Chains A and B, each alone.
Chain A
Amino acid sequence: MAKKILEKKVPMPEQSPKERIKNFDEVALGYTVEMAVEEAKRCLQCKPKEGQKICVDGCPVGVNIPAFIKCIRDRNFDEAIRIIKEKNNLPAICGRVCPYERQCEMFCTLGKKFEPVAIGRLERFVADWELSKGVKIPEKPQPNGKKVAVVGSGPAGLTVAADLAKLGYEVTIFEALHKPGGVLVYGIPEFRLPKRIVEAEVEYIKKLGVNIVCDVVVGKTVTVDELLEEFDAVFIGTGAGLPNWMNIPGENLNGVYSANEFLTRVNLMKAYLFPEYDTPIKIGKKVATIGGGNVAMDCARTALRLGAEESYIVYRRSEKEMPARLEEIERAKEEGVIFKLLTLPIRFIGDEKGWVKQMECVKMKLGEPDSSGRRKPIPIPGSEFLMDVDTVIVAIGQSPNPLIPKTTPDLKTGRKGEILVDEKQKTSKAKVFAGGDITTGDATVIAAMGAGKRAAQAIHEFLSGKS
Chain B
Amino acid sequence: MYKIVAKKDLASTIKLFEIYAPRVAKKAMPGQFVILRLDEKGERIPLTITDWSKEKGTVTVVVLEAGKTTKKLASMKVGDYILNFVGPLGKPAEIKNYGTVVFVGGGVGIALIYPEVRAFKEAGNKIITIIGARTKDLLIFEEELAKLSDELYIATDDGSKGHHGFVSDLLKKLLDEGKHIDLVVAVGPVIMMKVISNLTKPYGIKTIVSLNPIMVDGTGMCGSCRVIVGGETKFTCVDGPEFDGHLVDFDNLIARNQRYLEEEKLALERMKTHG
A217 touches B256 (CB 8 A): no
Q: Which of B88, B216, B217 contacts A220 (CB 8 A)?
A: B88
Give every chain A residue within 8 A of B86 (Cβ-Cβ): 176, 178, 215-217, 221
A279 touches B44 (CB 8 A): yes
B89 touches A220 (CB 8 A): yes
Give every chain A residue within 8 A of B258 (Cβ-Cβ): 254, 353-354
Is A8 in the interface zone, CB < 8 Å from B? no
A258 touches B23 (CB 8 A): no
Which segment of B105-113, B177-185, B220-228 sits at the interface? B220-228
Give every chain A residue within 8 A of B83 (Cβ-Cβ): 178
B263 touches A265 (CB 8 A): no
Give Cα A215–Cα B23 distance, bound, in whole angstroms: 10
Is A252 in the interface zone, CB < 8 Å from B? yes
Give chain B nearest CB distance to A48 CB in angstroms. Answer: 43
Is B241 in the interface zone, CB < 8 Å from A? no
A221 touches B263 (CB 8 A): no
Give Cα A216–Cα B222 distance, bound, in whole angstroms: 18
B89 touches A217 (CB 8 A): yes
Give Cα A103–Cα B143 distance, bound, in whole angstroms: 67
A260-B223, A282-B260 as given contacts; A178 in contact with B233, CB under 8 Å: no
Give every chain B residue within 8 A of A176 (Cβ-Cβ): 86, 217, 219
Give Cα A401–Cα B224 distance, bound, in whole angstroms: 16
Is A377 in the interface zone, CB < 8 Å from B? no
Task: Tell me if B's interface is mostly helix, strand, loop or mixed.
Answer: mixed
A178-B84, A216-B23, A269-B43 as given contacts; A280 in contact with B219, CB under 8 Å: no
Give Cα A215–Cα B84 distance, bound, in whole angstroms: 7
B256 touches A241 (CB 8 A): no
Give every chain B residue within 8 A of A264 (Cβ-Cβ): 216-217, 221-222
| Interface size range on B against A | 35 or more
Is A39 in the interface zone, CB < 8 Å from B? no
Give every chain B residue within 8 A of A216 (Cβ-Cβ): 23, 86
B233 touches A258 (CB 8 A): no
Give Cα A269–Cα B217 distance, bound, in whole angstroms: 10
A275 touches B270 (CB 8 A): yes
B222 touches A258 (CB 8 A): yes
Give Cα A177–Cα B227 distance, bound, in whole angstroms: 22
A176-B86, A222-B27, A403-B238 as given contacts; A243 in contact with B223, CB under 8 Å: yes
Give chain A nearest CB distance to B24 CB in angstroms. Answer: 7
CB < 8 Å A-B pair total:
112
Give every chain B residue within 8 A of A241 (Cβ-Cβ): 219-221
A277 touches B223 (CB 8 A): no
B228 touches A252 (CB 8 A): yes
Is B42 in the interface zone, CB < 8 Å from A? yes
Q: Which of B23, B219, B252, B267 contacts A222 (CB 8 A)?
A: B23
Could you mark each residue 82-112 of chain B with 1 if its beta carbon is under 8 Å from any beta carbon of chain A, else 0? 0111111100000000000000000000000
Give chain B nearest CB distance to A193 CB in angstroms. Answer: 19
Give chain A nearest CB distance to B109 CB in angstroms. Answer: 23
List B residues 223-275 near A (Cβ within 8 Å): 223-224, 226-228, 233, 238, 252, 255-256, 258-260, 263-264, 266-267, 270
Is B68 in the interface zone, CB < 8 Å from A? yes
A282 touches B259 (CB 8 A): yes
Give chain B nearest CB distance to A185 CB in angstroms. Answer: 12
Is B69 in the interface zone, CB < 8 Å from A? yes
A252-B256, A279-B44 as given contacts; A261 in contact with B238, CB under 8 Å: no
Give every chain B residue within 8 A of A217 (Cβ-Cβ): 86-87, 89, 219
B88 touches A243 (CB 8 A): no
Give every chain A residue within 8 A of B227 (Cβ-Cβ): 252
Give chain B nearest CB distance to A183 CB in angstroms. Answer: 10
A274 touches B263 (CB 8 A): yes
Give Cα A278–Cα B233 distance, bound, in whole angstroms: 27
A220 touches B266 (CB 8 A): no
Give Cα A276–Cα B271 distance, bound, in whole angstroms: 10
Give Cα A254–Cα B258 distance, bound, in whole angstroms: 9
Considering the complex of A and B, which 8 residue pairs feature the smallest CB-CB distances, nearest first? Answer: A354-B255, A280-B263, A261-B222, A241-B221, A278-B43, A215-B86, A178-B84, A279-B43
A-B contact pairs, 6 of them (CB 8 A): A217-B89, A222-B27, A243-B222, A277-B43, A280-B263, A354-B252
Q: Which residues of A contact B (CB under 8 A)?
A: 176-178, 214-217, 220-222, 241-243, 245, 247, 251-252, 254, 258, 260-261, 264-265, 269-270, 274-280, 282, 353-354, 401-403
Contacts A214-B84, A260-B221, A403-B219 known; list 19 others, CB within 8 Å. A217-B89, A217-B219, A220-B88, A222-B23, A243-B221, A243-B222, A252-B228, A252-B256, A265-B216, A269-B43, A270-B41, A274-B263, A275-B263, A276-B41, A277-B42, A278-B69, A280-B264, A354-B258, A403-B238
Q: Which residues of B contact A (CB under 8 A)?
A: 23-24, 27, 37, 41-44, 68-69, 83-89, 216-217, 219-224, 226-228, 233, 238, 252, 255-256, 258-260, 263-264, 266-267, 270
